[in-house]
Structure 1
Amino acid sequence: MTALRMGELRRRSRRPALAPAPPGAVSLAMGEPDFPTPPPVIEAAAAALRAGHTHYADQKGLPELRAALASRLPPGRTWTADDVVVTHGATAALAAVVLATIGPGDRVVIPEPAYSLYADLVVFAGGAVDFVPLAPDLHWDLDALAAALPGAAMMIFSNPSNPTGIVHREEELRALGELLDGSDTLVVSDEAYHRLVYPGHVMTSALEVESLRDRTVYVQTFSKTYAMTGWRVGYLAGPREVVDAAAHAHRTCNGSLNTAVQHAALAALDLPDGVVGAMAEAYRRRRELVVSELSGVPGLRLVPPEGAFYGFLRYAADLPSEVVARELAERKVLVRAGAEYGPSGEGHVRISFAAAEDDLRTGLARIVAHLGDAGSGRAGGDILRLHFE
């Protein structure tokens, strides 16, 4: 018999089981860098295996890796290795903190559209998801947050944002700190895309904001910055009591992370900045391509991405996003349905530009052909144009 909690998760989850693109199709669905892992990282893993690093590691992570990560956390307080837990990707970090701190009936505020894992984890823990729609520019609606936050056990968000590509500004974060003043609400800030911020925008970590620092669990991953998705290296840092509880949850569900992989992660931290910079520059060019190809297309509207490698594309066709995603798949381009990311995501599809430029051009052309003039005509509604905000 299926457990009650799992039955509820299956009923409410909108997360699809993704598969490779079929022959002839291009995928703009995956949030995965198309770059290979840098060779020094691979070589470090091989060297660790040859050196005999094939046994269990400390369940919180190699002390030297945790110390290196602590030294790189934003300033404002003294961080040590004991403030950091190395996890099986950011997914396990998020799961650990939610399972360690959220119980039946606890309310968790999620500004949405938002990464769909957040809501699934809250449901899995028995908590209550409180979705709060974003403002029209896809930044936080602070008035709506002010109404939702009192009594909330937690707020979860990503910055830069998956799926919207928005970079939440320092003043937004400071306003959040003011709204939470005097409360016990825990903040979980998923900053997986912190190195992917485009010209004209500035990334501010929640840990840099004094009013948030002592209540924030910072979640990070090697996946996006270092093209290490398959290596499954993530980590979290934050208040010691929460970190210790999350470490206990993680070791219960996952155990320690692959030892040789942790040595590879140490090598990734020592990569020249130009290695990461070159990948970030490629994403910047692709972002410009996305904006250029979609600009002025009747029936489509995009708030230009400020960070990450996603575009959250609104279409005029009067069809559910899951239907639109299925129609696009039939036309050999894979995207994610906007409804996966929350109620406000309906009427959108998410595209990823973590794809080769040729595939990106091909996919965008297929999207425009299906949802541009044809989409607006089929909907019979107002034509929406891309605009810059």
Structure 2
Amino acid sequence: MRVAARIEELRRCSRRPALAPAPPGSVSLAMGEPDLPTPPPVIEAAAAALRRGDTHYADQQGLRKLRAELASRLPARPGPTWAAEDVLVTHGATAALAAVVLAMIGPGDRVVIPEPAYSLYADLVVLAGGTVDFVPLAPDLHWDLDALAAALPGAAMMLFSNPSNPTGIVHSRQELEALGGLLDGTGTLVVSDEAYHRLVYPGHVLTSALEIESLRDRTVYVQTFSKTYAMTGWRVGYLAGPREVVDAAAHVHRTCNGSLNTAVQYAALAALELPDSVVEAMADTYRRRREIVVAYLSGAPGLHLVPPEGAFYGFVRYDAGPPSEVVARELAERQVLVRAGAEYGPSGEGHIRISLAASTDDLRTGLERIVAHLGRARTESEGDRKMRNGDRCRHD
């Protein structure tokens, strides 16, 4: 049987690997998944919902109580306050991103993605039939505003994460305000994926795109319970933004996904009621792990890290050697799993992404193996050069 042409294109272009558990003896620094347990009150809320019979379909846009609570926590705006109708509850942030891209992007529409960027973004644009316009970051991994100024005219959408996966960068208020200026007078939709909003390290402050006056009315805010509350397997995400965009995304979501598990939505309500100290304790764990990563990699010959400002990733550049997909395989053979930098866009080549969402012991073991393998000059073989210079899928 022949699959759809769009799927063939996605297979050709996608660099996203199919991930599996680490083999025995290996440690995984590849997964962007908290190793911490879901807080007990969240689990109890789900169990209580099941016991009282909340086992039927929910409102396809999400429980109204949950949507209203989420709306009340969005940054204030002039005029009408946020309402439940401005929020769509989804099957994780993945489904939120898919819903807005499929609702708003069609064949020929151009989407600007500053890169390196979370690899799902480009895949969704390809699936929608749009065109990806990758814009490389500046050397400090913040936005290159001149490059964005050249790319944005005529774009249907700009899509980014803040804090960033994979770089760990926190884009500043000044950057966001500059983006607003570049988009003045245009119809470009902004999609701001702020999944790691509670994971920001000392010396850095996160400003939501919804707090920027020049961006507020054109921004779709994407969020998830996965990272903040260690709820990856629960699959609770949501988006908020202009009512007409939310309505269109809701139509996509109910067509592809239907309503979210009812009991899980009550668990999400319980998560929102947790004391701030619970979330801060998790964030403190990642801060300590960040210090370990920076200490291991600072001064390691042949390795370079811009210290993460947020999220729980390190985007590590290596000086010499084969393409990042080869390096990832070599490291897997040495029993440490990482993600190849090329997965995240053309500028990601020559990097690997490591996750801090692993136990301290696994993190130390993995870093030791990475430094032992990459922390020295390498000679590139002819086969490696051919792979580096071989055909790449082009999105433009």
Per the shorter chain, which TM-score range? over 0.9
Letter in 1 for 2:325: E
Aligned equivalents of 1:49, 1:302: Cα separation in 2: 46
* Equivalent residue number for residue 150 of structure 1: 153
* Equivalent residue number for residue 57 of structure 2: 56
Asked if 1:317 corresponds to 2:320, the answer is yes
Paired residues in the alignment total 378
Asked if 1:247 corresponds to 2:269, the answer is no
Q: CA deviation at 1:379?
A: 5.2
* Equivalent residue number for residue 277 of structure 1: 280
* Equivalent residue number for residue 370 of structure 1: 373
Aligned equivalents of 2:301, 2:75: Cα separation in 1: 43
* Equivalent residue number for residue 231 of structure 1: 234
- Aligned CA-pair RMSD: 0.8
Asked if 1:109 corresponds to 2:112, the answer is yes
Aligned equivalents of 2:321, 2:34: Cα separation in 1: 32
Aligned equivalents of 2:363, 2:230: Cα separation in 1: 18
Structure 1: which 5+ runs fail to align? Answer: 381-389
Q: CA deviation at 1:153?
A: 0.1
* Equivalent residue number for residue 300 of structure 1: 303
**Of residues 170, 185, 191 in structure 1, which corresponds to 2:173?**
170
Conserved? CA contact 2:62–2:260, under 8 Å? yes
Conserved? CA contact 1:316–1:379, under 8 Å? no
Letter in 1 for 2:234: W
Conserved? CA contact 1:108–1:152, under 8 Å? yes
Aligned equivalents of 1:160, 1:218: Cα separation in 2: 13
Cα offsets for 1:20-44 (capped at 9, x unmatched): 0000000000000000100000000
Aligned-partner SS, 1:378: coil
Matches within 5 A, 1:56-75: 56-75=57-76
Letter in 1 for 2:48: A
1:377/1:123 Cα in 2 relative to 1: closer, same or farther (>3 Å)?
A: closer
Q: CA deviation at 1:75?
A: 1.3
* Equivalent residue number for residue 19 of structure 1: 20
Conserved? CA contact 1:110–1:131, under 8 Å? yes
Letter in 2 for 1:264: A
**Of residues 354, 358, 361 in structure 1, which corresponds to 2:357?**
354
Q: CA deviation at 1:208?
A: 0.2
Asked if 1:4 corresponds to 2:16, the answer is no
Q: CA deviation at 1:377?
A: 3.9
Letter in 2 for 1:240: R
Q: CA deviation at 1:378?
A: 2.9
Structure 1 residue ranges, 4+ long, deviating more than 6 angstroms after superposition? none
Aligned-partner SS, 1:59: coil
* Equivalent residue number for residue 340 of structure 1: 343
Aligned-partner SS, 1:60: coil
Asked if 1:92 corresponds to 2:95, the answer is yes
* Equivalent residue number for residue 386 of structure 2: none
Q: CA deviation at 1:317?
A: 2.0
Aligned equivalents of 1:150, 1:232: Cα separation in 2: 35
Aligned-partner SS, 2:379: helix
Cα offsets for 1:50-85 (capped at 9, x unmatched): 111000000000000000000001112410000000
Cα offsets for 1:243-269 (capped at 9, x unmatched): 000000000000000000000000000
Conserved? CA contact 2:115–2:347, under 8 Å? yes
Aligned equivalents of 1:69, 1:216: Cα separation in 2: 16
* Equivalent residue number for residue 257 of structure 1: 260
Cα offsets for 1:236-293 (capped at 9, x unmatched): 0000000000000000000000000000000000001111000000000000000001
Aligned equivalents of 1:297, 1:223: Cα separation in 2: 33
What TM-score, normalized to structure 2?
A: 0.95
Aligned equivalents of 2:183, 2:198: Cα separation in 1: 27
Aligned equivalents of 2:318, 2:378: Cα separation in 1: 11
* Equivalent residue number for residue 384 of structure 1: none
Asked if 1:186 corresponds to 2:189, the answer is yes
* Equivalent residue number for residue 36 of structure 1: 37
Aligned equivalents of 1:147, 1:179: Cα separation in 2: 10
Aligned equivalents of 1:269, 1:326: Cα separation in 2: 40
**Of residues 141, 145, 156 in structure 1, which corresponds to 2:144?**
141
Aligned equivalents of 1:10, 1:300: Cα separation in 2: 32
Conserved? CA contact 1:165–1:310, under 8 Å? yes
* Equivalent residue number for residue 383 of structure 1: none
Cα offsets for 1:305-346 (capped at 9, x unmatched): 000000000001231000000000000000000000000000
Aligned equivalents of 2:368, 2:7: Cα separation in 1: 40
Aligned-partner SS, 1:187: strand
**Of residues 174, 195, 205 in structure 1, which corresponds to 2:208?**
205
* Equivalent residue number for residue 134 of structure 2: 131
Percent of residue pairs identical: 84
Conserved? CA contact 2:321–2:378, under 8 Å? no
Conserved? CA contact 1:34–1:354, under 8 Å? yes
Aligned equivalents of 2:297, 2:352: Cα separation in 1: 13
Q: CA deviation at 1:183?
A: 0.1
Letter in 1 for 2:295: S
Aligned equivalents of 2:76, 2:118: Cα separation in 1: 27
Conserved? CA contact 1:44–1:263, under 8 Å? yes
Aligned equivalents of 1:294, 1:94: Cα separation in 2: 33
Matches within 5 A, 1:208-219: 208-219=211-222
